[in-house]
Amino acid sequence: MSVFGHPLGVQLLAEIWDCDQDKLNDIKTVQNIMVNAAKKAKAEIREVVFHRFEPQGVSGVVVISESHLTIHTWPELAYAAVDIFTCGEHVDPWIALESITQDLNAEDANVMEISRGMKNLNRLRKAKQQATATL
């Protein structure tokens, strides 16, 4: 894959609202939801690490060969912050995100997609420097 015009990876930053609060506070449930999402997206799982906070909330990461899926929950707000970063062409981060929102019974989500590993900015800077040097 070329880095000129094609990203090395895609990152989704998701604000997931109005989720099932009981699910957000249960470490096993959150872990299963995230692992399931990685599997549905056809990612290769490497490591899984989750932690439950007191009095509430869960944070965790599913490390995949293609990068990672992370979640941080605020059960008291029925909210989860999710970051899905995938590299390559065979894993679809949108499939993982759809799985997570469905499994959390989410009512709303705001998502930002970021292309990672683009060299367009560097090419733009070089062109600007070259143009300035010839003046």
Topology, domain 9-133: S-adenosylmethionine decarboxylase (3.60.90)
- Residues marked active site are found at 67, 72, 87
pLDDT of residue 4: 53
pLDDT of residue 2: 41
pLDDT of residue 119: 65
User: By 3-state DSSP, what share of the chain in percent is helix, strand and coil, each rounded to 5?
Assistant: 35, 35, 30
pLDDT of residue 88: 86
- For each successive 10 residues of the chain (135 residues), what is the average pLDDT? 68 98 98 98 98 98 97 98 94 97 98 84 64 66
Domain boundaries, the chain: 9-133
